[in-house]
Amino acid sequence: SCVFSLVNIFLWKHTPVGYMELGKELRKLSWSGIPKQVRPIAWKLLSGYLPANVDRRESTLQRKRKEYFAFVEQYYDSRNDESHQDTYRQIHIDIPRMSPEVLRLQPKVTEIFERILFIWAIRHPASGYVQGINDLVTPFFVVFVCEYIEEEEVENFDVSSLPEEVLQNIEADSYWCMSKLLDGIQDNYTFAQPGIQKKVKMLEELVSRIDEQVHRHLDQHEVKYLQFAFRWMNNLLMREVPLRCTIRLWDTYQSEPEGFSHFHLYVCAAFLVRWRKEILEEKDFQELLIFLQNLPTIHWGNEEISVLLAEAYRLKFAFADAPNHYKK
């Protein structure tokens, strides 16, 4: 019934007021997870890349895809210029470190990611390219590949077998949706990454309020939040959970106002406290840090993510609107 409701939403032709209602309804239905077959279009709508108006969607896609490849034509040849070669070199180094492994080893995927990241960096000189941004392309790319293939496991699919036009569509759509996401968290990636520093500090204050015992335990063993949570903010937990879990998380993040910035903080707090038993049992700085940097989530799926999101929502509801809610 969720699929049916979502399909109805995608085909809804209405007045401007109706479009506002459509957005609200789509976010409500998507919060608890989007069925795989409708996720590509749902993400494009939720991110603001596609207009709610059905009649304008095809022309918008054509225009935006054309615009992206005009950027490629304009900027991509400059990747070896002296002023840009450091950026391109860093992107080139980071892509082989991406997850999942099977995708990143495909030359076609590497080529697409290099273009997306380089164009984004050139068009956003305030931050340029920063490690971590490379991970944020992957969920969009994988979800948009699913639009064109039957396979259950995209990770083992040979992307180069897709027609060139399809690959170009996936590339442009991934670029624009990643750009929309980054618009909301760009201070995470400007010089000295002030957004991340601030969020890690907020996480620390929030955890001290919701689970003082865990907070005190980390403090007593001289574990600094920056040592494990910097990556949680920088990569939006993508290095901590399997890709399937990231994709499910992003259904909700795109349904929440400021999901990738504000709500993510509560998800990180819920995620840390989820391991309280293991944290409190560990009495050694080194072992604690190793545990926090390698949390055992390899077998996680939708069920664990749903529990995590419900707890994050509870925390947000309990703390977000209280004055000085981070302060004791």
What pLDDT score was predicted for residue 2? 57
Per-residue 3-state assignment (H helix, E strand, C coil) for the chain: CHHHHHHHHHCCCCCHHHHHHHHHHHHHHHCCCCCHHHHHHHHHHHCCCCCCCHHHHHHHHHHHHHHHHHHHHHHHHHHHCCCCHHHHHHHHHHHHHCCCHHHHCCHHHHHHHHHHHHHHHHHCCCCCCCCCHHHHHHHHHHHHHCCCCCCCCHHHCCHHHCCHHHHHHHHHHHHHHHHHHHHCCHHHCCCCCHHHHHHHHHHHHHHHHHCHHHHHHHHHCCCCHHHHHHHHHHCCCCCCCCHHHHHHHHHHHCCCCCHHHHHHHHHHHHHHHCCHHHHHHCCCHHHHHHHHHCCCCCCCCHHHHHHHHHHHHHHHHHHCCCCCCCCC
Token pair listed for 153: 């496991």
What pLDDT score was predicted for residue 72? 97
What pLDDT score was predicted for residue 299? 96
d(CA 27, CA 101): 32
Residue 13 has pLDDT above 60, yes or no: no
**Greater pLDDT, 164 or 15:** 164
Nearby residues of 12 by Cβ (< 8 Å), 6 or more positions away: 18, 22, 52, 54
d(CA 277, CA 328): 23
pLDDT band at 102 (very low <50, low <70, confident <90, very high): low
d(CA 135, CA 244): 14
**Greater pLDDT, 1 or 127:** 127
What pLDDT score was predicted for residue 127? 87
What pLDDT score was predicted for residue 55? 87
Highest mean pLDDT among 7-21, 105-119, 164-178: 164-178
Token pair listed for 17: 């007021």
Work out the average pLDDT over 206-222: 97
pLDDT in tens, 21-69: 667 888 998 999 999 989 999 999 999 999 888 889 999 999 999 999 9
pLDDT band at 17 (very low <50, low <70, confident <90, very high): very low
Work out the average pLDDT over 12-19: 51
**Average per-residue pLDDT for the chain:** 90
Check if the beta carbon of residue 42 is closer than 8 Å to that of residue 147. no
Nearby residues of 88 by Cβ (< 8 Å), 6 or more positions away: 79, 80, 114, 118
Token pair listed for 31: 């919060």
**Greater pLDDT, 110 or 105:** 110
Distances (CA, A) of 31 to 27, 191, 216, 241, 309: 6, 33, 33, 19, 9
Closest by alpha carbon to 225, among 91, 113, 233?
A: 233
Q: Kindly state the percentage of the chain with pLDDT values over 90.
A: 75
pLDDT in tens, 134-157: 999 999 999 999 999 887 677 778
Residue 125 has pLDDT above 50, yes or no: yes
Check if the beta carbon of residue 78 is closer than 8 Å to that of residue 115. no
Residue indicated by tokens 């865990």: 214
pLDDT in tens, 302-325: 999 999 999 999 999 998 765 454
pLDDT in tens, 161-197: 999 999 999 999 999 999 999 999 988 998 889 999 9
Among the residue ranges 18-22, 53-57, 79-83, 278-282, the one predicted with the least confidence is 18-22
d(CA 319, CA 328): 12
